[in-house]
């Protein structure tokens, strides 16, 4: 179980579906939050901002997840890669 959680440190979760061609699609980036939500946002917000600027058709959002939240989030929302 711990090995699975370690592999899932960063998981991009499928965001909301595109409502119209003019809107950008939201992509959620699930991040293992070992040191709290604030520190997770501090450490990962630059990555989400960079990806959003580099891939303008998507808006990336950081989602801090605890150990017990990762596996259910992947099962519920799916993922692109681990």
Q: What is the pLDDT of residue 76?
A: 85
Structurally, the chain folds into a number of domains equal to: 1
Q: What is the pLDDT of residue 11?
A: 43
59 domain-assigned: yes
Structure tokens at 36: 């709290």
10 domain-assigned: yes
40 domain-assigned: yes
14 domain-assigned: yes
82 domain-assigned: no
Q: What tens digit of pLDDT does each residue of 34-75 get?
A: 999 999 999 999 999 999 999 999 999 999 999 998 888 888
43 domain-assigned: yes
The domain in which residue 42 lies consists of 2-77
12 domain-assigned: yes
């Amino acid at each position: 179980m711990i090995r699975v959680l370690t592999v899932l440190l960063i998981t991009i979760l499928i965001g909301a579906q595109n409502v119209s061609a003019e809107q950008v699609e939201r992509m959620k980036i699930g991040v293992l939050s070992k040191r709290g939500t604030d520190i997770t946002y501090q450490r990962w917000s630059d990555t989400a901002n960079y990806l959003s600027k580099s891939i303008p058709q998507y808006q990336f959002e950081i989602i801090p997840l605890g150990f017990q939240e990762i596996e259910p989030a992947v099962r519920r929302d799916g993922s692109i890669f681990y």
